[in-house]
Structure 1
Amino acid sequence: MIDLDELVGVVFSGLSPLVVKDVVDDGERIRVRARTPDGSVACSGCGAETARVHGYHDRTVADVPVDARRVLVVVRIRRLVCPTRGCRQTFREQLPGVLERYQRRTTRLTSQIGAVVRELAGRAGVRALSALAVGLSRHTALRLLLRVPSPQPRVPRVLGVDDFALRRRHHYATVLIDAQTRERIDVLPGRTADVLEAWLRAHPGVQIVCRDGSGAYAEAVRRALPDAVQVTDRWHLWHNLGEAVLKEVAGHSACWAKAGPPLQDGKRAQTTRERWHQVHDLLGKGVGLLECARRLNVSLNTVKRYARVGEPERLQRAPQYRPTLVDPYRDHLRRRRSDDPAVPVLHLFNEIKALGYQGSFNLLYRYITQGRVEADRLPISPRRFARLLLTRPDSLTDEHRRLLDDLTTACPQMIDLAELVRGFADLLRPHEGNAERLDAWIATARTCDLPHLHAFIRGLDQDRDAVRAAVTLPFHNGGTEGVNTKTKRIMRQMHGRASFALLRHRILLA
C-alpha cells in the first residue's frame, strides 16, 4: 500500500525541489500549495550567498495536468537581501528546472507544450492541448515554438541540396541537409545561384554536393567551391530516361503495334502525313525551324517533333481502348467468326448474352468494327509498353515477359531501346568502373535511330562530370527528397500562412 504522502510524491515528482504543503481539489482543477526550501541562496547579481529574508509573496504557475484536470501550483517565494554593498538591495529567489524567471508555467509543462507545437504548430497544437486540459492561445503556442532553440548550422562533408515550393510557380526555397546523416542543416529563401553561393562562401568546408539537374545549383557550386565534387541524383537520371523511353515508344507505335488492332487511317492520320511532308519540304529548301512554324501556323515544338522522325507513319499512335464488357467473350467471338465469317452480329449478341454478357448491342458492334476481335492480342498503350521496358526483369511475370518480347521483336528500334535501358539500369549501381561504361553506353546510344534518347544524351553531356560521379560514388539526394516530403506536410498543417522564419524554424526542428 502507498500512503497519501508517497502518492503525492509520485504524482508531483516534478515539484520535488519544492516543499509541498497541501493539495486541494477545486473540482475542475487541482491546486497545489508549496513553498521554497529554507537555506541560503546565491544573489543573481554578485553571486554572494544569503539567507536573510526581506519578505514573502505568492507566485502561481501552471503544471502538467492530472486526471485530465488543470494543476495550479501556488508557491510561496522569498525575497532576500543581498549582503554585498553596492549590489542590488533585494532579489527574488528562483528554482532552475522548476520555476524560471517571468514564466507562468513550470519547466516540464513548457517542454511538453513545446513538443506538441513542434509537430502541430498553432491552431492544431491548441486543439490537441485543450484535449489534454492545457489551455493557451495559438499566439502563445507560436511564441513557445519560436523559443525552442534551433540547431546551429554546421558544415557537412557531403551536402544535399534541393528546392521546394513555397507557392508553386511563384516562390521557392532551398533546403540543405547532411547527405550522410540526413540531418537538416539550413533553409535558404530562394533557389537562385546567388543564394546558394552566398551560403557556401559563408560556410567553407563542403567537399561533395549532391543535387538534381538544376543548372542554378551547379553554377553556384562551381563559383563558390570549384574543387568540390558535384553528384547528380540517380533517381532523376532514371526518371529523365523514362520520359525519353515513353516518347520513343509512342513514336514507334505504328511499328510495334502491327500485331494489335489496325491503325486508324482517318482524317487525323491524313492530316499528320500532309503536315509531315510540308515540314520536310520546307526543311529540304533550307528553311529554319522557327520560320517553318510561322509559315505553317503551328508551334515550334510541333515542328521539332515532325522534323525528328524520318517517316510519317512513326507519328501515328496505336489505338488505345479501355477494357469493356466484351473482353471476356473475345475468344468465343473470334472462334465463331473464324468458323462462319458471315455470321450476323445479332446472332453473336444473343449467344454471348446467354453466356452472361450484360453489355449493349452497340458496344458489341463497335468492338467488332474496330478490329479488336481479329487482333492477335489486345491493344496496349505506349505508356504500359514503356513501363514494361523500365521494369526490373526479375519483377515481370511470365505473361508480361512474353508480351515484352513480342513487342520489342516487332520493331528494330525497340530492340535497341530495350538493350540501352538494361545497360543504363546497370550503371545506376555505383561502381568505380562505371565511368568508362557510361562513355561506351553514350557512344552506343548515339548510333541508334532514337532521336528522343539523343536529347536525353545531350542533357548528360551538359553535366557529364556530375553524372560520372553519380554512377561511381555511393552518394545520392534521396535524403533531401525525404525532407521535402516532410516539409510539404508541415506546410499543409500551417495552411500556407506561416512566415518564412517560422517555416524554417519548424523544418530545422522536425
Structure 2
Amino acid sequence: MRRLVCGNEHCPRRTFAEQIPALTHRHARRTDALTAQLTDVALFLGGRPGTRLVQRMTIDTCKDTVLRLIRALPLPSSGPVPHLGVDEFAVRRGRTYATILIDMATHRPIDVLADRAAATFASWLRNHPEVRIICRDRAGSYRDGAQTGAPQARQVADAWHLLNNLAQAVERVIGRHRSDLRQPLTSHDDRSDEGPASEGRDRAELDIHGRPRPLVARTRERHQQIHERIERGDSLRAIARDLQLSRGTVNRFARTAEVDELLLAAIHRPTLIDDYRLYLHHRWMEGCTSASALAREIQRLGYRGDVNTVRRHLKPYRNGAIPTTAPLPHLTVRRVTDWIMRRPEHLTDAERKGLDELCERNHVLATTVEYARRLALMVRDRHSEHLALDVWIADVRLDGQQELRTLANGMRRDRAAIQAVLTTTYTSGAVEGNVTRIKLLKRQMYGRANFDLLRRRILLSP
C-alpha cells in the first residue's frame, strides 16, 4: 500500500493512503476478509464464546466489537411467503414468550415477533396478503390472529400436536383409574397365588440387606391406627389432627379395607430399571451374569442409572432366588398410555393381553381406548371419510370421559384446521426444528442477550 504526499502547501492534508478495492476502506481498522471472518464467528458463537475463539487465533478483539458486527448486518428480505409456519418459543420460560415465523418452502425463519398475542400476529399478516397456508399448533392466539389478519388463508393444525393433546387427555383418564393398575395382570403371570409370587411380595417388603423396610412397617401401623379410631367413632378430621396427617392421607387409608392394597403401591414404586427388568432376566438366563456388562448393554438401550442399581437388582439372582418366569411389568399411567397410543400391530403379545385385561376390568378404560384409537387412526393414516371427524366428536361428547369431551369441544371450535390435517400433508416439523435451534442459540448466549440481538441471530444464523 503506497503512501502519497500532497504537493499543495495550502492543503490541510499532507499525506494520503492508497485504497485497494475489495480489501480496504477508508478509516477501517480491519480488512474486509477479517471482518467477514469475525462476523461468521459472531453468528455461530455469539459474544463471549466468539471472543475466546478469535483470541486463540491471535486476533485481538472484545465481545462488544463482535456484537456490533452482528447488529451492523442488514436483515434478510423474505419476499412473498405463500406457505407460512408459526410457533412460540420461550424468551424467559414461564414469563416471556415470542413468536417465530417460518417460510415452509425454504424452512428458514423470516421474522420474529416480540410476543405471542393474536393482535401482533394479525398485524403482521395484514402486511403479507400473499399468505395462503398457515401451519400452526392448536394455540388459540394464533388461530384468532390468522382469522383476523388473513381470512383468505387456510389454517392447518399440526398432526403431532393433535396426537399429543389426545395422549394427555388419555393419560388424565387413566390417572383417575390408577387403582386398577395396582392389581397384577393375570395374563402376565402363570404362577400360583401361594408360590413364587407370594414369595416375591415378601421379598419386596425387605430392603437390600434383608431387613424390614421402614415404609412397610409405617404403612401397616398407620392403617391399624386409623381403622381402630374409626371403629371407636372418631371423625376423620380428628384422626388427621391427632396423627398429624393430611385429610387426603386419612381418607385414602380409611377407604382401603386391606393394608395389602396400600403396600402394593408402596413397595412397587417406579424405578429407573423397571423398563429393563425383562431384558436383564433374559440375559441372565442366557448366561450373562456380569452386572457391569449388563449395565453397559441397557445403557445403550437408554438406561440412565448406574451399575450399582443393576447389582442390587441382580442380588436375588446371585442368592439363588431366580424366578422361573420373566418378572411382572410394573404398570404405570404412562406405560398404559403408551400402549393405547401406539398402533395395535406394534404391541407385543404380552402388552396386547395386558391392555385387553385392563379393558375387561374397567369399561371406562375400554371406551377410552376405542375413542383414542379411532382418532389416532384418522390422523396417522389421513382418513378423511365423509363426516368421520364430526361423528367422532359427537360420540365423545355423548358418552366419553370429561377429559376427552374437553378435547372434543376444543376440536369442534378448531374444526377447519383439524379437518385440514386429514386432507393435506402439511406439518409443523420445520417450525419445531427452528425452535430447537433457538434453544441452542439461547444457551450459547447464556440467556443474557436482549430481544434485538436474539432476533438478529435467529434471522442471520446459517
1:132 and 1:488 map into 2 onto residues whose CA distance is: 28
Matches within 5 A, 1:204-353: 204-255=129-180, 258-260=183-185, 319=265, 321-322=268-269
The answer as to whether partners of 2:368 and 2:400 remain within 8 angstroms in 1 is no
Q: Which amino acid aligns with 2:340?
A: L
Q: Which residue of 1 aligns with 2:96?
A: 171
The answer as to whether partners of 2:377 and 2:383 remain within 8 angstroms in 1 is no
1:222 and 1:232 map into 2 onto residues whose CA distance is: 14
Q: Which residue of 1 aligns with 2:318?
A: 356
CA separation of 1:198 and 1:91: change in aligned 2, threshold 3 A: farther
- Any gaps of 5 or more consecutive residues in structure 2? 8-12, 186-196, 202-218, 228-246, 248-255, 282-313, 322-326
Is the aligned partner of 1:408 residue 2:359?
Answer: yes
2:318 and 2:58 map into 1 onto residues whose CA distance is: 62
Q: Which residue of 1 aligns with 2:242?
A: none
- Any gaps of 5 or more consecutive residues in structure 1? 1-74, 82-87, 272-297, 299-311, 331-351, 360-375
SS across alignment from 1:206: coil
Q: Which residue of 1 aligns with 2:78?
A: 153
2:83 and 2:368 map into 1 onto residues whose CA distance is: 35
Higher percent of residues as helix:
2
SS across alignment from 1:237: helix
Q: Which residue of 1 aligns with 2:307?
A: none
Measure how far apart 1:92 and its partner are: 5.6
SS across alignment from 1:146: helix
1:353 and 1:198 map into 2 onto residues whose CA distance is: 65
Amino-acid identity (%)? 35
2:460 and 2:317 map into 1 onto residues whose CA distance is: 64
The answer as to whether partners of 1:430 and 1:473 remain within 8 angstroms in 2 is no
Deviations 1:356-413 (A, max 9, x none): 3499xxxxxxxxxxxxxxxx95541122111111123344333323323332333333
Q: Which residue of 1 aligns with 2:210?
A: none
SS across alignment from 2:49: helix
1:354 and 1:244 map into 2 onto residues whose CA distance is: 39
Q: Which residue of 2 aligns with 1:338?
A: none
CA separation of 1:323 and 1:462: change in aligned 2, threshold 3 A: closer
Deviations 1:61-114 (A, max 9, x none): xxxxxxxxxxxxxx3245789xxxxxx999864323211233222222221111
Q: Which residue of 1 aligns with 2:455?
A: 504
The answer as to whether partners of 1:256 and 1:411 remain within 8 angstroms in 2 is no
SS across alignment from 2:102: strand
Is the aligned partner of 1:135 residue 2:78?
Answer: no
Measure how far apart 1:122 and its partner are: 0.7
TM-score by length of 1: 0.61
CA separation of 1:213 and 1:149: change in aligned 2, threshold 3 A: same
Q: Which residue of 1 aligns with 2:296?
A: none
Is the aligned partner of 1:440 residue 2:391?
Answer: yes
Deviations 1:204-245 (A, max 9, x none): 211111112222221111111112111122211111111111
* Equivalent residue for 1:201, pick from 119, 126, 129: 126
Higher percent of residues as strand:
1
* Equivalent residue for 1:482, pick from 433, 437, 442: 433
Measure how far apart 1:447 and its partner are: 4.0
Deviations 1:460-504 (A, max 9, x none): 112111111122221122211211111111111112221211111
1:445 and 1:253 map into 2 onto residues whose CA distance is: 22
Is the aligned partner of 1:108 residue 2:5?
Answer: no
Q: Which residue of 1 aligns with 2:2?
A: 76
SS across alignment from 1:428: helix
Q: Which residue of 2 aligns with 1:419?
A: 370
Measure how far apart 1:508 and its partner are: 0.2
CA separation of 1:432 and 1:424: change in aligned 2, threshold 3 A: closer
* Equivalent residue for 1:383, pick from 315, 334, 353: 334
CA separation of 1:434 and 1:164: change in aligned 2, threshold 3 A: farther
- Count of residue pairs brought into register by the alignment: 358
SS across alignment from 2:101: strand
Deviations 1:98-155 (A, max 9, x none): 1123322222222111111111111100111112222211111111222233212333
Deviations 1:421-451 (A, max 9, x none): 2222222236473563212222333344422
Rg bigger for which structure? 1
